[in-house]
Amino acid sequence: MAVTPLLIGMPEMRQSSLVVVANRLPINDNVALDGACEWRRSPGGLVSALHPLLRHTPATWVGWAGGTGPAPTLPDVDGVRMHTVPLSSEDLRDHYEGFANATLWPIYHDAVEQPEHHRRWWDAYQRVNQRFAEATAQVAEQGAVVWVQDYHLQLVPGLLRALRPDLRIGFFLHVPFPPPELFMQLPRRAELLHGMLGADLVGFQRAQAAHNFAQLVTKVLGLPATDRRIAVEDRIVRIGAFPVSIDTAEMAALADRPEVADRARRLRHDLGSPEQVILSVDRMDYTKGIEQRLKAYSELLEGGHVKVRDTVLVQVAVPSRERVGQYQILRDRVEREVGRINGEFGRVGEPAIHYLTQPFDRTELAALYRIADVMAVTPLRDGMNLVAKEYVAARVDDAGALLLSEFAGAAAELSQAYLVNPHDLEGLKQGLLAALRAEPADVRARMQAMRAYLREHDIRAWARSYLSTLDQSGLLLTRLGG
């Protein structure tokens, strides 16, 4: 298959003129049983969005390779230079697991779990952000465009501007940005806002997030702000919503491959050829609403609305942030509940839930999407949720019902999905039943509309829209062939 880079890599474009800075590199080291180290694509929305985007485009990706100790030297991946930033075990504990994932993550997701505050974590957050800023300053050429990603690195735009005022700096937040009453809890709220304002453009998934940010900047820093522009000293910082997306055409082409169709048939057979398959694919995260979904499914089984012989639930839940206490507790609870439901409702050779915690390659994911009569994506809060978009893109047959939480960013765009409030157990049960019992013509019409939307609003459109706003001179887009 011919390779078409999304940001069309012009030969004259150098790797150091476009620098993406993200906590994680797009590949993760995975130590095999024999001790050998192999590299594979890291699961998670950020990498799923940016990896196909940059493939074969001269660029540098500054990030962490997933371990501790000295940074490994990595070869280019699909033409993208990998610049690794080392994390010590203290950095991992206090920056990644601590401030990023036990302070910011819960606050940014409606505090569905209690955020923790420790001064030591803040010190690590500053230290690691400084290290990322210095690494970026080193690799970026004069006047380069630097695109900083996500909540782990909110101080980088400000730190980088101080080191390299010549750079054009963008910041994009993949997760929700909370309402003022939640953000105000953060002891270091002013520093975090200042850090983001070091960028020329601060992008969010939804307009509401940009609005929250503008309100906070005025309230905490006393700066005049609208939902589009903020005046910071002698500069204007632009803000706005840029809903992230996927490589729709790539997923559709993959799902359409004969081997994927064969694999899908085999999977369905291996599941006992049920009349209907419900699928969920999540990182094991308390924001994803896995427990609420299991409860709804269990009550439907108990009430006799759903029969194990006719319907199966496949729950893929890849472990995530495994040393963070709240994630360990969640995994234990999910596994206990899956065991209980299977014990109570399953039969020999016919479990009620097929529970899988492995990372899958894209082909297997596409085959799973193709057998899902109902795709249940019901997070309690989610910045976007790319799984929902991948499912729609994979349904080249226009079949399949998407059950989608109103609290996922994707709901603002995929309005033809069967929308539910995952906090409302009865509503969730009714939503599942409605999706299972929907008329094929209705399912088809909704899927067609969502597929048409995603064909247009794909990852290329996202990058074009963001980068043309960041680089109003149009220079970057011209060089990228946009």
Distance, CA of 65 to CA of 46 (rounded, Å): 14
- The one-letter code for the residue type at 240 is G
Binding mask 28-47 for ligand ADP (x = CB under 6 A): ---------------xxx--
Q: Which is nearer to ligand ADP, 104 or 365 (CB)?
A: 365
Residues 6+ apart with CB under 8 A from 44: 24, 283, 320
Spatial distance between the Cα atoms of 348 and 325, rounded to a whole number of angstroms: 35
Asked if 83 is an active-site residue, the reply is: no
- Residue 447 CB, shortest distance to ligand ADP, in Å, is 19
Choose the contact partner of 150 out of ligand ADP, ligand F6P, none; CB within 5 to 8 A by kind.
Answer: ligand F6P
Q: How far is the CB of 71 from ligand ADP (least distance, A)?
A: 24
Picking from 89, 80, 73, the residue whose alpha carbon sits closest to that of residue 29 is 73
Question: Cα–Cα distance between 454 and 463 in angstroms, integer?
Answer: 14
Q: Which does 104 bind (CB under 5 to 8 A by kind): ligand ADP, ligand F6P, none?
A: none
- In contact, 152 and 96? CB cutoff 8 Å: yes
Nearer to ligand F6P, 97 or 373 (CB): 97
Active-site residue (options: 174, 194, 354, 457): 174
In what helix (H) or strand (E) does residue 362 lie, and over which residues does it extend? helix 362-371
Residues 241 and 210 sit within 8 Å (Cβ to Cβ): yes
Alpha helices of 376-439 — where are they, by DSSP H? 386-394, 425-437
The window from 176-184, 248-256, 322-330, 357-365 that contacts ligand ADP (CB under 6 A) reads 357-365
Please state the closest distance from residue 97 (CB atom) to ligand ADP, in A. Answer: 16
Query: Under a CB-based contact definition with an 8 Å cutoff, are residues 62 and 20 in contact?
Result: yes
Q: Does 289 bind ligand ADP (CB under 6 A)?
A: no
> 230 forms bridges with which residues in the sheet?
225, 237
Rounded CA-CA distance 125/129 in Å is 6
| Closest distance to ligand F6P from the beta carbon of 232 (Å) | 26
Q: Which does 394 bind (CB under 5 to 8 A by kind): ligand ADP, ligand F6P, none?
A: none
Q: Report how far residue 72's alpha carbon sits from residue 285's, in angstroms, rounded to the nearest whole number.
A: 28
**Is the Cβ of residue 46 or residue 80 nearer to ligand F6P in the bound state?**
46
Partner from ligand ADP, ligand F6P, none contacting 178, C-beta within 5 to 8 A by type: none
Active-site residue, selected from the candidate residues 247, 382, 458, 471: 382
Site map for ligand ADP, 233-272, x if CB under 6 A?
A: ----------------------------------------
Q: Given strand 168-172, what is the order of strands in its sheet?
A: 80-84, 59-64, 18-24, 145-149, 168-172, 201-204, 235-241, 229-232
Please give the Cα distance from 240 to 228 (Å, whole number): 6
Selection from ligand ADP, ligand F6P, none that 24 binds (CB < 5 to 8 A by kind) is: ligand F6P
- Using the rule CB under 6 A, is 48 a contact of ligand ADP? yes
Q: How far apart are the C-alpha atoms of 390 and 291, rounded to whole Å?
A: 23
Q: Does 316 bind ligand ADP (CB under 6 A)?
A: yes
Q: How far is the CB of 125 from ligand F6P (least distance, A)?
A: 15
- Closer residue to ligand F6P in complex, CB, 383/431: 383
Residue in the shown chain whose Cβ atom is closest to ligand ADP: 45
Q: Which of residues 371-410 bind ligand ADP (CB under 6 A)?
A: 384-387, 390
Q: What is the C-alpha to C-alpha distance for residues 218 and 171, in angstroms, rounded to an integer?
A: 19
Is the CB of 24 or the CB of 164 nearer to ligand F6P? 24
Report, in Å, the least distance between residue 275 CB and ligand F6P.
34
Q: Which residues bind ligand F6P (CB under 6 A)?
A: 24, 44-47, 150, 174-175, 283, 320-321, 383
Q: Figure out which of the listed residues 29, 123, 360, 398 binds ligand ADP, where binding follows CB under 6 A.
A: 360
Q: Look-up: residue for tokens 């019992």?
A: 437
List the strands of the sheet with 276-283, edge to edge: 353-356, 311-318, 276-283, 374-377, 401-405, 418-420
Active-site residue 305, yes or no? no
Q: Which is nearer to ligand F6P, 174 or 451 (CB)?
A: 174
**Considering the rule CB under 6 A, would residue 365 count as an interface residue with ligand ADP?**
yes
Considering the complex, what minimum distance in angstroms separates the CB of residue 377 from ligand F6P? 14
Residue 360 interacts with, from ligand ADP, ligand F6P, none (CB under 5-8 Å by kind): ligand ADP
Helix H, strand E, coil C: the string for 193-246 is HHHHCCCCEEEECCHHHHHHHHHHHHHHHCCCECCCEEEECCEEEEEEECCCCC
- Which residues are tagged catalytic? 174, 382
Interface residues with ligand ADP (CB under 6 A)?
43-45, 48, 281, 283, 316, 318, 359-360, 365, 384-387, 390
